[in-house]
């Protein structure tokens, strides 16, 4: 088939990391990571006796557009996502929560129609992505079933309570903050992260004792361009500008309050909030966003609970960093 048609199907089928597609399941159907397995395949992981195979993994590489030279690095994180999806599938099945035939048919037809609109043969297009008609149906089964679970588990009262608890994160509130960062990478060893946290903890003590101002400390120690402005990163909403970990820390602080050292994907930070502008959006204005966030948190908690008793057997050697994160 033509590359354009294949690209369209990849976009329609692929989701990104789990929190994205699971959040979207709160609003509309999305993808799962548990396609059907074939006989006599290389099994990479078993989850309570259910296999995750090399074909499953390769299919994810294709739909996520992972280059050949990046696949070894992506393997373990992708397999962990697939383990999580298997656990969710088992959780849903234990509660007799499933997608209907009509729902699955509608999603499969949507994919097939997209191929036809690009003058491509649907079966050939799916085969190029490693799908059979049955494995494609299974691809959509988990997010659709998860949506049914949400419909039952999330009541109007619980959604409102969640919004009220996290109001500033949804109602358009903006905070103004400054930070000091020691830059690190995920590949750096744990000791490097701990050393950075210890250094920032010491700097924090100096600021608290007024031996140095936050502005001066940022200008001297921070490893970001904002050091020239005393660490000022300006005003930002909860989502969109700053890393999630940074926003979570900043939004829980009062004006003038300073955080403890904390980690983000960019390194270790020390943050102080210098201003706050309240928002005025209501629950009705942001219902989809609230439900999406709650969906993510429920998914993560369900996975954590399932992992406590699950029998997860790795048939391939894991990387040292993956084992350390368990």
Mean pLDDT for 69-92 is: 95
Q: What is the C-alpha to C-alpha distance for residues 137 and 135, in angstroms, rounded to an integer?
A: 5
Angle at 169 between CA 164 and CA 173, to 5 degrees: 105
- 171 has pLDDT over 60: yes
CA-based max dimension of the chain: 71
How confident is the model at residue 65, as a pLDDT?
87
| pLDDT confidence tier of residue 325, bands split at 50, 70 and 90 | low
For residue 206, the tally of other CB atoms under 10 A from its CB is 13
| pLDDT confidence tier of residue 15, bands split at 50, 70 and 90 | very low
How confident is the model at residue 136, as a pLDDT?
86
Q: What percent of the chain clears pLDDT 70, i.e. is strictly above it?
A: 86
Q: Please tell me the pTM assigned to this model.
A: 0.77
All domains of the chain in start order, with CATH: 3-162+292-324 (1.10.4030), 178-277 (3.10.50.40)
Q: What percent of the chain clears pLDDT 90, i.e. is strictly above it?
A: 71
- 86 has pLDDT over 50: yes
């Amino acid at each position: 088939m033509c590359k354009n048609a294949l690209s369209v199907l990849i976009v329609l089928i692929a989701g990104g990391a789990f929190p994205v597609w699971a959040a979207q399941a709160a609003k509309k159907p999305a993808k799962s990571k548990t396609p059907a397995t074939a006989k006599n395949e290389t099994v990479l992981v078993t989850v309570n006796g259910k296999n995750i195979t090399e074909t499953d993994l390769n299919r994810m590489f294709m739909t996520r557009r992972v280059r050949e030279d990046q696949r070894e690095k992506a393997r373990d994180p992708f397999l962990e996502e697939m383990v999580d999806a298997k656990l969710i599938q088992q959780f849903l099945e234990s509660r007799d929560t499933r997608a209907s035939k009509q729902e699955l048919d509608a999603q499969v037809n949507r994919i097939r129609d997209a191929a036809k609109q690009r003058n491509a043969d649907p079966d050939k297009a799916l085969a190029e992505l490693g799908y059979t008609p049955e494995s494609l149906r299974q691809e959509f089964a988990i997010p659709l079933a998860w949506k049914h679970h949400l419909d039952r588990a999330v009541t109007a009262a619980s959604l409102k309570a969640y919004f009220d608890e996290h109001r500033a994160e949804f109602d358009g509130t903006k905070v103004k903050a400054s930070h000091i960062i020691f830059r690190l990478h995920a590949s750096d060893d744990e000791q490097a992260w701990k050393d950075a946290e210890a250094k920032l903890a010491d700097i924090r003590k100096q600021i608290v004792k007024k031996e140095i101002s936050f502005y001066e400390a940022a200008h001297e120690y921070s490893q970001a361009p904002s050091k020239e402005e005393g660490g000022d990163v300006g005003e930002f909403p909860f989502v969109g500008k700053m890393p999630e970990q940074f926003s979570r820390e900043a939004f829980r602080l009062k004006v003038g309050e300073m955080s403890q050292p904390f980690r983000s994907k960019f390194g270790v930070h020390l943050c102080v909030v210098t201003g706050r502008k309240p928002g005025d959006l209501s629950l009705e204005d942001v219902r989809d966003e609230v439900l999406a966030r709650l969906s993510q948190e429920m998914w993560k908690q369900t996975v954590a609970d399932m992992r406590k008793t699950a029998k997860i057997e790795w048939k391939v050697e894991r990387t040292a960093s993956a084992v350390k994160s368990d």
